[in-house]
Copies of this chain bind each other. A is one copy, B any other.
């Protein structure tokens, strides 16, 4: 029943050549046309599939690329992962997926698993600070960060959406509508956005209106509800991701705040349901899938040297969740 797989040795014998020749032919090395053809034919007849196991051990590295995201049930990371998979598939590389829950400790564990597997290329949405990555990077792991960078790790190439521009655009749009008390509802790893938020708002910043949730949906809801209750005077909110936006919509509804009459809402990340919502949500679209694809590309093309990162454009898509400031 469960017979041994065909090995390179079987092919070599059947073709009457040495194993090295088979190896060369199959990896595009030099060989006489006729030998090449014979080997190829025999390999096909025997339905020979080179084992990645042997190759990996020999080369002291597993092919394949590791992918670490905070939460695969989040539409944004789902699309990001899809981009990575698309690129990896075109290169015939397997993808090992791990989730971190935006927790530094879990991230470290997942990295350990990848290392143990011999993975030497990884695309990650970093959860912990840069230090966690220190030993990993020094051990030769080719790393590309996606969507955000780790504090104090400017040396790792990263593929990011230009959410700084996104924040500016959103804030300008909101202030242009007359809003003055604008809140930022953030998630893990959004320090950079918040600093732009502060800059753009200038004298209008109100630190109490900047709140953070942890990764979970519950935490997001709690943060949103808390914000709306403590500061009923705010008139607009910028949600830092689709789960945060979802929480904001839910919390607003719970507190009988009408969108956009009582509260204007802009959400980072354009998800399909943003259009189904009523009112349809005004969003800052981020090219999640592209981010993943580009990051995978970088990590694959990295021929030892460190590639430069990329900054992808965001876009404000105006729908119906923002209106002029409510007159008190």
Q: Which one of B73, B75, B138 contacts A82 once the chains associate, using CB atoms below 8 Å?
A: B73
| Total copies of the chain | 2
Chain B nearest CB from A27 CB (Å) reads: 14
Of A52, A99, A109, chain B has the most CB atoms within 10 Å of the CB of A52
Cβ-defined contact, A118 with B64, below 8 A:
no
Q: Would A94 and B79 be within 8 Å (CB), given that A53-B60, A276-B246 are in contact? A: no
Q: Would A81 and B85 be within 8 Å (CB), given that A53-B118, A117-B64, A276-B277 are in contact? A: no
> A113 within 8 Å of B by Cβ?
yes
Complex Cα–Cα for A97 and B97 (A): 6
Cβ-defined contact, B277 with A51, below 8 A:
no
> Can you name the residue of chain B whose Cβ is closest to the Cβ of A67?
B97
Complex Cα–Cα for A75 and B272 (A): 11
Instruction: Note all chain B residues with C-beta closer than 8 A to A289.
Output: 73
Chain B nearest CB from A304 CB (Å) reads: 10
Instruction: Note all chain B residues with C-beta closer than 8 A to A96.
Output: 64, 94-97
Cβ-defined contact, B118 with A94, below 8 A:
no
> A190 within 8 Å of B by Cβ?
no
Binary flags per residue of A264-276, CB closer than 8 Å to B gives 1, else 0: 0000000111011
> A203 within 8 Å of B by Cβ?
no
> Can you name the residue of chain B whose Cβ is closest to the Cβ of A115?
B49
Instruction: Note all chain B residues with C-beta closer than 8 A to A117.
Output: 52-53, 64, 94
> A139 within 8 Å of B by Cβ?
yes
Q: Which residues of A contact B (CB under 8 A)?
A: 1-2, 5, 49-54, 56-57, 60, 62, 64, 67, 71-75, 78-79, 81-82, 85, 89, 92, 94-99, 109, 112-118, 138-140, 217, 246, 249-250, 271-273, 275-278, 289
- 25 sample A-B contacts, Cβ–Cβ < 8 Å, listed by A number: A1-B140, A5-B60, A49-B115, A50-B116, A52-B62, A53-B53, A53-B60, A53-B117, A56-B57, A64-B96, A71-B82, A73-B75, A73-B79, A73-B82, A73-B289, A74-B78, A85-B97, A94-B96, A95-B97, A246-B272, A249-B276, A250-B276, A271-B273, A276-B276, A278-B278
> Can you name the residue of chain B whose Cβ is closest to the Cβ of A66?
B94
Q: Would A78 and B72 be within 8 Å (CB), given that A115-B49, A273-B273, A273-B276 are in contact? A: yes
> Can you name the residue of chain B whose Cβ is closest to the Cβ of A279?
B278
Instruction: Note all chain B residues with C-beta closer than 8 A to A271.
Output: 273
Complex Cα–Cα for A67 and B274 (A): 29
Q: Would A78 and B73 be within 8 Å (CB), given that A94-B96, A118-B51 are in contact? A: yes
Complex Cα–Cα for A54 and B92 (A): 22
Instruction: Note all chain B residues with C-beta closer than 8 A to A71.
Output: 82
Of A1, A56, A92, A95, chain B has the most CB atoms within 10 Å of the CB of A56
- A-B pairs, top 5 by smallest CB distance, nearest first, are A273-B273, A278-B278, A97-B97, A73-B78, A2-B140
Complex Cα–Cα for A135 and B250 (A): 50
Instruction: Note all chain B residues with C-beta closer than 8 A to A64.
Output: 96, 117
Chain B nearest CB from A70 CB (Å) reads: 11
Instruction: Note all chain B residues with C-beta closer than 8 A to A5.
Output: 60, 139
Cβ-defined contact, A75 with B75, below 8 A:
yes
Cβ-defined contact, B98 with A94, below 8 A:
yes
